[in-house]
Structure 1
């Protein structure tokens, strides 16, 4: 179910799912009831104690939504409250970002009175160029976050992400670290390198970086299969009922 999972701060967990958790997206033609069942199973495995992960309607932009507690997140109500954004930050809620080649980024900072500040980012090619990652870091700091760490999940690597030369030039003009050549010698974009460069420029430490989705068939990859599901990057605080996860998966 998890390709990677760890307690990154006391009581704060970060994880990335794999195909074992199934498709978690409602927008790819899957049975909505099955998607909601898988989401519920994931929430139980994470030990959320009856809470739900908050998802967003991702549009390859740079908008950041601030998520507060108390909103309904089940069934039809969930779709109604999911923000249209490519990053979310919160002081309280479990968060999820869905990908199948784009870069999933999880952010955790030390907030006011020692409480954590959490964030997730969907960093695809347009979002990286538009600065969604630094925008999310800025919003975390507006909520009082310090000592921010980042966990960069699996995504398509620069060796596999072939693009037209003009597109490479356009994106690299905004984020120079994305410029690369693929393993076959064609123009490419290294989005994970671009994301890491943006985080480092913001003074954010990169605690973990995942592998390549196209090369790993235990992960969904849109470039490998255009009809595919989505896996998730997750961050949550444990419920007060003492339920806890265990170690790395």
Structure 2
């Protein structure tokens, strides 16, 4: 179920893999994405299993309607009747609320200040990196009282596997020069995670980087590798007392 998992004081975090769920076919088996064409009941079962593994009930494991933007919302409990908002980052200072970021090549970023009791989850694709969603998430956390923020950056498609047109690489490098990369075949590429890590460092955020390329590792979902596929997630929770 978990590609990587850890704990820092009351903060528990994990990045899921493809194992331990009930989805079938190309979504097998722990698909957490509800927008990819999988059986909705299977997705709910999978999400319930992850919630239980993180020590919360299903209603307290929050997923966003991700849209490759830079909006970050602040929450203090389960979604109301309107459902999940359109955003790509979420932060909370409420114990027992687990925050999730879905990916299938993009970079999942989990943020925490255990002493202040503030956590966050960010979906950072190339558009999110170039619009500096990390900056917004860090600012939202500091508004909630966070001071010493640390990040765990999860596995994502590596720069060698993310070929793009030269002008797209130039646009990304104009925001974060560290994101400019070269593909396996010598063409222009973008390393989103490197750009994200550079932005975290610029915000004085300590970084732990989980190794792994989504496209190269079949334990992970990868849109670039498979096209129609599921989603894995980064999940973080501030444990209830």
TM-score when normalising by structure 2:
0.91
Instruction: Measure how far apart 1:7 and its partner are.
Output: 0.9
Aligned residue number for residue 41 of structure 1: 49
Instruction: Measure how far apart 1:193 and its partner are.
Output: 0.6
- Structure 1, gaps ≥5 residues long: 241-249
Aligned-partner Cα distance in 1 for 2:165–2:216: 21
Aligned residue number for residue 245 of structure 1: none
Aligned residue number for residue 231 of structure 2: 230
Aligned residue number for residue 85 of structure 1: 87
Aligned residue number for residue 219 of structure 1: 220
Aligned residue number for residue 17 of structure 2: 18
C-alpha distance 123-50 of structure 1, shift in aligned 2 (>3 A): closer
Let me know the Cα RMSD of the aligned residues: 1.4
Instruction: Measure how far apart 1:71 and its partner are.
Output: 4.0
Instruction: Measure how far apart 1:197 and its partner are.
Output: 0.3
Aligned-partner Cα distance in 1 for 2:58–2:152: 25
Instruction: Measure how far apart 1:70 and its partner are.
Output: 5.1
- Counterparts of 1:184-199 in structure 2 under 5 Å? 184-199=185-200
Report if the CA contact (8 A) 1:47-1:239 is conserved.
no
Aligned residue number for residue 4 of structure 1: 4
Report if the CA contact (8 A) 2:62-2:79 is conserved.
no
Report if the CA contact (8 A) 1:104-1:155 is conserved.
yes
Instruction: Measure how far apart 1:115 and its partner are.
Output: 4.0
SS where residue 60 of structure 2 aligns? Answer: coil
Aligned residue number for residue 134 of structure 1: 135
Aligned-partner Cα distance in 1 for 2:211–2:100: 16
TM-score when normalising by structure 1:
0.88
Q: Of 60, 65, 76, which aligns to 2:68?
A: 60
Aligned residue number for residue 105 of structure 1: 109
Work out the number of aligned pairs and report it. 230
Instruction: Measure how far apart 1:237 and its partner are.
Output: 2.5
User: What's the CA shift string for 1:165-223, capped at 9, x where partnerless?
Assistant: 11111111122111111122110101111001000000000023331000100000000
